[in-house]
Amino acid sequence: MFNLSEYLNLLETGNKNIMLTLTKKQIGNWVLLDYLAQRQQFQDKINILEKKYNGDLQAFETKLETATSEDFQAWDDLIEWKAYTQFLSEIDSKIADIRNGDFQMAG
């Protein structure tokens, strides 16, 4: 069994008759890295909105709902903020599943 770097090296040298064997743990680690990168992107977006509006989502939503004038950009930001928060929750669940080995490989 070869690790990924050995396999890629063999491919670069022209040996294409070697099958790469991956373990469930290796696949899980690659998927986990992707999910962690996505999580960071969502968290970064949320952090930007928290700085922009000087507070958390709940405080911002309350402020918008009680405002006397309409701020369409703020409402757009609220929609995005809620979406990022939902995406963050979903990706956290997926990360927990991967870390616990609660996934299947198709194929």
Q: 2 φ, ψ to 5°? A: -105, 150
Q: Residues of 48-87 as b/e, b for ≥16 C-beta within 10 angstroms?
A: ebeeebeeebeebeeeeeeeeeeeeeeeebbeebeebbeb
Reported confidence tier of residue 19, pLDDT bands at 50, 70, 90:
confident
Radius of gyration of the chain measured on its C-alpha atoms: 21
**pLDDT of 45-97, one tens digit each?**
999 999 999 999 999 999 999 999 999 999 999 999 999 999 999 999 999 99
Tokens of 43: 């968290």
pLDDT at 16: 63
Q: Which of 10-14, 78-82, 85-89, 102-106 has the lowest mean pLDDT?
A: 10-14
3-state secondary structure of 13: coil
